[in-house]
Chain A
Amino acid sequence: MSFADFLFWIVALWTGLSAVMVVVTQNIVRAALWLLFTLAGTAGLFFLLGADFVGAVQLLVYVGGILILLVFGVMLTAQGPFVNLRAGAGEWAVSIVVGLLLLGLLVSAFLMTDWRFLPAQPPDPAHSRYVNDLGLALLGSRDATPPGTLPGAPGPEPAERSRVAYLLPFEIVSVHLLVVLIGAAYLARARRRRGART
C-alpha cells in the first residue's frame, strides 16, 4: 500500500463517516458541521484524484458559500436556540432498509460491470496541465479533449469519440446562475410577515 492509497482510505473513511453523521445528527447546525467535514473530505478526494481545480472550487463554493448560506438559513428560521425536528422511529426503520437496499443496488451495479477496458495504470497524479486543458475546453477549444476510440462501445469497429468543447454550456451556466441569483433575491426579499402564528 503506497502513501497515496493510505491517504485515500483515511479521507474516504472520514468522508463516509461524516456523511453518515449528517444523517444521524438531529441538531441542524451540528449536521451543518458534519456536512462541512464531508465536503472538505470530498475536496480532499478530488485533490488525491488529481482534480486540483475542482477540489479548490468545491472548497470555495461549498464551504465558503453554500454552507454559510445554510447556516444563515438556519439562524433566520429558528424559533428556539437549538432546533430539533425528529422523524418517527417507523420512518427511520423504513428509510434505513430502503437506504441499504439502494446501497446494495449501487454496489452490485459497479461490481458487476466489466471494467477491463480501463487502462491498467491510472495516469500520473501530478498532471498539472489538466487545469490549462480545462480552461481551453471551457473557452471552446475542441483540441483540449484528447482524441481516441471509445472503450466498450457496441459494434464491430471501434467508434471514434467526438471531440467537444464547452463554451456554450459554460455561457448557459453563467446566465443561469445570474438568473437564479436575481430570482433568489426576489423571492427572499423582505416582506411583512403574514399568515398563521402558532
Chain B
Amino acid sequence: MTSVGLQECLLVGAVLFVAGILCMVTKRNAIGILMGSELVLNGANVNFVAFAYFHDLFNIEGQIFALFTIVMAAAEAAIALAIVLNFYNNHVTVDVDAAEDLKG
C-alpha cells in the first residue's frame, strides 16, 4: 500500500477544479456560478497547500498564496453578490440568460 503523495493531493485539486468549471457552465443561477468559482479557487488552493507540504523549500510560499487566494475569494464574492443584487434589481431574476441587454 503506497502512502499518500503529491499526486493524490493534485487529483483532489483537479476534481475540485473540474467540478467548479462544470458548476459555472451548467448553472443558470448567477449565485450558482459564484459557487462554481469558489470551487475552482479551492481546487487551486489544495494544489498550493499540497506543494507547500511536499517540498520544504516552498512551505511558506504555498501557504501564503493559499491565504491570498482566500482573501481574493472573499473580495470576489462580495463584489459578485453586489453585482447580482443590482442585476436582480434591474431584471427581477438571477437567471444569467436574461443578461442580454448588450446583445447587438
Contact = CB atoms under 8 A, between A and B. Distances in A.
Chains A and B form a bound pair: yes
Contacts of B74: 61, 65-66, 177
Question: Of residues B32, B73, B77, which shows the largest number of chain A Cβ atoms within 10 Å of its Cβ?
Answer: B32
Contacts of A92: 26
A46 B28 contact: no
Contacts of A115: 6-7
A177 B70 CA distance: 11
Contacts of B88: 76-77
A148 B57 CA distance: 7
B99 interface: no
A57 B70 CA distance: 8
Q: What is the interface of chain A mostly: helix, strand, loop, or mixed?
A: helix
Interface string B63-104: 110111011111101110111111011111111000000000
Contacts, number: 253
A131 B55 CA distance: 16
A32 B23 CA distance: 12
Contact of B31 (A77, A86, A148): A77
A187 B19 CA distance: 30
Interface of B: 1, 3-12, 14-23, 25-29, 31-32, 34-36, 38-39, 42, 45-46, 49-50, 52-57, 59-64, 66-68, 70-75, 77-79, 81-86, 88-95
Contacts of A183: 79, 82
Contacts of B32: 28, 31, 85
Contacts of B63: 51, 53-54, 130, 134
Nearest to A4: B4
Interface string A71-93: 01110110100010111000110
Question: Of residues A110, A144, A164, A173, which shows the largest number of chain B Cβ atoms within 10 Å of its Cβ?
Answer: A110
A184 B90 contact: no
Contacts of A181: 75, 78
A49 B53 contact: yes
Nearest to A187: B82
A19 B20 contact: yes
A51 B66 contact: yes
Given A54-B66, A54-B70, A195-B91, A8 B8 contact: yes
A28 B15 CA distance: 21
B51 to A, nearest CB: 9
